[in-house]
Structure 1
Amino acid sequence: MPIIAVERSQRKLASRVLESVHTLSPTYNAVNEATSSSTTSDIPGNKSSYHAVVGIHVAPNQPPPGPLERLQPHPRIRMITSLPTDILFSIIRVLPIPDLLALGATCKALHTAIEDRSVWVYAMGRILATIPMPHVSTSMPSMSTRELRHRVLQSALLESVWSNTDFLPESFRSVPCKSSVRGVRLLPDGREVVMLIQDGSLELYKADVDVPVAVTLSPTKPVGSVHWIASLSSTYEPLVLLKIDSPNKNASDLYLYHVDLETPALTLRASVTSLRPITHFSAGGDLLAFVTRNEERCVLHVQSVPHESGAHTEQVLIKGFEQWLGTESECAVSLLSRGRMAVTNNQGTSTFYLPELKPILPNSLNIVLSLSPTWTGTGGNASTLLPQVSPVIWEPSGSHTRTMAVLKDNSLHVLNLGQSESQSWIVPFDTAVGLEGYDGLFRGPKFRPADVGFHRVLFHTGRGMNADGKRVITFRTCIIPSAVSLSASQTPAAQRLGSFAIPSEDGREFVQEVSFDEGTGRLCILVMIYERFVRAKRIVYVDVV
């Protein structure tokens, strides 16, 4: 993008950030009020406030200083620009983005100060502490200051509009898709999508290109149904775990693919063939977990994913685990680290220490007969929907200091799963969300299309009519509160819900899957349609900011 276009885009983002925030810093309010008048004598209200900002002392109800006096700061008041550079930048680097922009609007010297690269590196660091974006972290050293500033402003604007009622996205684009598509996931940075096809193959696309850039082979076995989840490897690279059931549902296959966005390519990392049906499956870091069921008994398999070909696979089999799982549509397994996992059902979340994994040897199985939870957090009223759980980042220490969130019917279950002590909170929504708009024909009556991120949540709430009487598909958004803010209050306050809608082209349309990128604010929505049979119709890309 040309430099002029980038700067124009940044100015537009900056102005929208300031417009979207109603309460800015006192410094900006005082200067803005003062500079709105043509002369100092016309300043309304307390005249001393403005002069204190710029470093001139004037007592209340005293006449304004003359031209020469305006240039001379009071000896007992120092201007902020006269502070030592290290102290000045220590102050600037901790300012919220709206206050940072407001400070830069006060004078040329401070505007120059906030253009320093270190200011935007610190600002991006604060964002990455909340929303892990490994692709951004690795590319930051090579980013220009303009690009860093643009990303920070984009994130600040997204934060300000995400909880607004009936907000209007910046743009949306509807693209027809093949009828055999069964799932679409937006990948990190919002530039690529991976599609799940009914025959069990995967296709990788650029978001603005209709021809796939990478394709996997479809299985040679007959395909009954396909299911998938997205995850992150131990090096924070995107993974796709695909489950293919046989036509009679009595056997399953798992395929774990690594998504290389630079090549681009879809590389098979691991595969599992089970002669029993697989009901639950999960991947994270360098582990793969799945549950096989035989009538009323089930076995949890946890095995390592080798980084190199020829390396030994380690595994542990855990029996007697059915009491924690429930049915396939009521449970989610999250691998927190190589030594811990969490199981979430419609009652709550429990954490477990994983037994030691051992190499798979002929005629030798590493079997554990039972496993007890180390902690259980109830999730309030039992949810009637499939639990939607936020992703997991493996931390080097294995401590898992980031909070997890579970989307329930009308609340969030926020968990702080520390090694020494775990906590949980039930955060209600400020608006009740009805369940009458969900379509259960294709994904089951307990399914609500949703995507729970590290800091934000997006979910589909049905279909309706807008103020102009046109059909729309509606969505809700909310921000996940931090564990620090929840710990500071005895009773969590109701979380504000945002909302937006996209046009519906046909009353028979329904949403099959939603995903979004927290860094760019891009959303991806797979829309299907009821006809003689259910088929995919279109993919809608939405840019919130």
Structure 2
Amino acid sequence: MITDLPDDILFIILQHIELRDLGSIRLTCRSLNTILDAHRSLWVCAMEDVLSISPGPPQDDLTSMPLAEMKRKVLRAGYLDETWSTPDLSNRTYIDFPAHKLTKSAHLIPGGEWVVEVFDYGVLRMRTVDPRQYRYSVLFRIDDNFRCYEATPHLALSAEHQSLFVVVFRDQIRYKIHVYRLDTSPEPQFSLLTEVLSPRLGELSLPTIGGNLLAFLDFISPEDAVIVVRRISGPLFEQDQTVLRCVSCTQWISALRVISERHLLIHNHTNLSTVDIPDMISMRNEEAQYANPVIATFTRLYTAASVSECAISPVIWSGTGAHQTPIFLFHPSKSAMVHVVDVPPDGGPRHTTFLCPRPKAEPCGVGTRRSVFVDTSNDQDLKLFFLTMARGNSFEDWEPRWGTMSFPLQGRQFRGQVPTHISYDEATGRMCFLLSGNVWRNSIFTVDVQRRTRVHDFVEGAVAVFEKIDSYVWAWPLAIAIVAKVAFTISSRSR
């Protein structure tokens, strides 16, 4: 019998159990459940897997977290992992609330409880997703001389686990970048952390945040374009910063990411490269135009056969002590190859690829382990494709799994509207659609995995009963199947 194996062997096998199988294992027999409860490190390993897709630095000390709380979070994450990509709409909950007619985009704050609306005329609004708490909202004007947006605003997290909102816009004469801190407690408010002006009167684009670093492209012409990297912390108008000149490359840059405190990731249509960030010096905003640019040194990771656009996962957080959060890069409708760039704590960037048999769909929410693609070619249905990445023992070992879900666009929720912007929070699996097209109104439509607290209560109750019983005959086939599958996988990888 499997349970006759030595505890240390069973411990090694159970370390490789997927989150979705932990609940089933606990319902099998007393022996396996006793082993799970006796080895706190098993739940710590599972909790680390849960935290690997949670944005920001670890807030919980796993060494002091109560075991019951750790089990609850792991089982809840396992349920989300199992049901998130299923086409069954019965395990979904929907929230539909009105949006301003001039709403340009809607962004879920990490955690999925709050949303930031961006209005066309330079106003931001932060409010709760739950319409019953709609009174908790605040309006904020970006700039009195606001003219237009130059890039879609995006969210990030600072090293202090603060939600940051980055806006690129133009006033009457030049480009600006504003970085706001989003506070949701005790009252929602926007706080300006950094204002970046363009003293060269260049075009500011491709802003990206990683930890406490802000990077962006300052472009005047193909011969006069630089990448600026600066710290967000410190006095508002004086930060440590550096200016990089990317020779014969900047005119083609299509994606820019801060992937660590020492590295940038750059995609320029044909090449995927990393750039080392040099030491910074303290200077004021107006001094940046006189700084001597440092010639950037590229480390090429990949060269494509032809020019193509890319969809790249956002860098939510990459500060010191971060969980390993690989960057995923897709080439929509061009290739089935997916690029993965990882930065381990003890080394430089690593690059690998795998083939993903995805349909012809555009990625709208690219995450570390779960991504959402959308296909709007059919005006009768909104079809979503879900890609789940099961990570193995090695960096190169990724297993893509696909699921689909369709919403009728002519249904009650949509009322003839179509999605114009989609926001996605990977840790909770919540999706937020900005719907427009109706002459009378816009709306925000959120889709969430149903909270199955009764299931969790049932699992915990069943485990309490099984602890008093040696075994259940009907449960043994399930236990044998799951543990044998994991054991076979481990032996196959070791060959």
TM-score norm. by structure 2 comes to: 0.75
Q: 2:217 aligned to 291, 296, 304, which one?
A: 291
**Partners of 1:190 and 1:520 within 8 A in 2:** yes
1:526 Cα deviation (Å)?
1.4
1:336 Cα deviation (Å)?
1.9
User: Is residue 230 of structure 1 aligned with residue 187 of structure 2?
Assistant: no
User: Is residue 367 of structure 1 aligned with residue 292 of structure 2?
Assistant: yes
Q: Which residue does 2:265 correspond to in 1? A: 342
Q: 2:407 aligned to 474, 498, 502, which one?
A: 502
What is the number of residues matched between the two proteins? 433
**Partners of 1:451 and 1:515 within 8 A in 2:** yes
Q: Which residue does 2:48 correspond to in 1? A: 125
Residues of 1 paired with 2:27 and 2:229: CA distance? 56
**Partners of 1:430 and 1:496 within 8 A in 2:** no
Residues of 1 paired with 2:434 and 2:38: CA distance? 42
Q: SS state of the match for residue 82, structure 2?
A: helix
Residues of 2 paired with 1:191 and 1:143: CA distance? 24
Q: SS state of the match for residue 80, structure 2?
A: helix
**Partners of 1:225 and 1:246 within 8 A in 2:** no
Residues of 2 paired with 1:89 and 1:168: CA distance? 36
Q: Which residue does 1:173 correspond to in 2? A: 95
Q: 1:519 aligned to 409, 422, 427, which one?
A: 427
- Counterparts in 2 of 1:451 and 1:363: CA distance versus 1, 3 Å: closer
Q: Which residue does 1:475 correspond to in 2? A: 384
Q: 1:487 aligned to 391, 396, 403, which one?
A: 396
Deviations 1:307-333 (A, max 9, x none): 4x479412222235562452xxx6121
**Partners of 2:168 and 2:205 within 8 A in 1:** no
Q: Which residue does 2:194 correspond to in 1? A: 270
**Partners of 1:182 and 1:536 within 8 A in 2:** no
Residues of 1 paired with 2:183 and 2:62: CA distance? 19
Q: 1:185 aligned to 74, 82, 107, which one?
A: 107
Q: How does 1:241-390 map to 2 (within 5 A)?
A: 241-246=166-171, 251-263=174-186, 264-274=188-198, 275-296=201-222, 297-307=224-234, 309=235, 312-321=238-247, 323-326=249-252, 331-360=254-283, 365-368=290-293, 370-379=295-304, 382-383=307-308, 385-390=309-314
Q: Which residue identity lines up with residue 276 of structure 2 in the other structure?
A: Y
Q: SS state of the match for residue 295, structure 2?
A: coil
Q: SS state of the match for residue 160, structure 1?
A: helix
Q: Which residue identity lines up with residue 166 of structure 2 in the other structure?
A: L
- Counterparts in 2 of 1:427 and 1:229: CA distance versus 1, 3 Å: same
- Counterparts in 2 of 1:134 and 1:376: CA distance versus 1, 3 Å: closer
**Partners of 2:263 and 2:277 within 8 A in 1:** yes
- Counterparts in 2 of 1:222 and 1:305: CA distance versus 1, 3 Å: closer
Q: 1:424 aligned to 321, 332, 351, which one?
A: 351
**Partners of 2:127 and 2:134 within 8 A in 1:** yes
1:110 Cα deviation (Å)?
5.3
Residues of 2 paired with 1:142 and 1:193: CA distance? 32
- Counterparts in 2 of 1:482 and 1:116: CA distance versus 1, 3 Å: closer
5+ long unaligned stretches in structure 1: 1-51, 55-77, 435-447, 466-470
Deviations 1:444-488 (A, max 9, x none): xxxx561111211112211537xxxxx321111112464855636
Residues of 2 paired with 1:538 and 1:341: CA distance? 37
- Counterparts in 2 of 1:459 and 1:310: CA distance versus 1, 3 Å: closer
5+ long unaligned stretches in structure 2: 451-495
Residues of 2 paired with 1:194 and 1:168: CA distance? 28
**Partners of 2:57 and 2:319 within 8 A in 1:** no
**Partners of 2:154 and 2:167 within 8 A in 1:** yes
User: Is residue 461 of structure 1 aligned with residue 369 of structure 2?
Assistant: no
**Root mean square deviation of aligned Cα:** 3.7
Residues of 1 paired with 2:146 and 2:351: CA distance? 44
Q: Which residue does 1:452 correspond to in 2? A: 366
Q: Which residue does 2:134 correspond to in 1? A: 210
- Counterparts in 2 of 1:133 and 1:486: CA distance versus 1, 3 Å: closer
Residues of 2 paired with 1:431 and 1:188: CA distance? 27
1:269 Cα deviation (Å)?
0.8
- Counterparts in 2 of 1:280 and 1:109: CA distance versus 1, 3 Å: closer
- Counterparts in 2 of 1:215 and 1:149: CA distance versus 1, 3 Å: farther
Q: Which residue identity lines up with residue 511 of structure 1 in the other structure?
A: P
Residues of 1 paired with 2:287 and 2:35: CA distance? 68
**Partners of 1:388 and 1:451 within 8 A in 2:** no
Structure showing greater Rg: 1
Residues of 2 paired with 1:510 and 1:401: CA distance? 36
Q: SS state of the match for residue 79, structure 2?
A: helix
1:378 Cα deviation (Å)?
2.8
Q: Which residue identity lines up with residue 487 of structure 1 in the other structure?
A: E
- Counterparts in 2 of 1:509 and 1:175: CA distance versus 1, 3 Å: same
Residues of 2 paired with 1:98 and 1:304: CA distance? 40
Residues of 1 paired with 2:216 and 2:392: CA distance? 30
1:525 Cα deviation (Å)?
1.5
Deviations 1:98-139 (A, max 9, x none): 5433343234565566567945444212221x3134487338
Residues of 2 paired with 1:105 and 1:413: CA distance? 38
Residues of 2 paired with 1:288 and 1:153: CA distance? 36
1:500 Cα deviation (Å)?
1.0
- Counterparts in 2 of 1:322 and 1:507: CA distance versus 1, 3 Å: farther
Q: SS state of the match for residue 342, structure 1?
A: strand
TM-score norm. by structure 1 comes to: 0.68
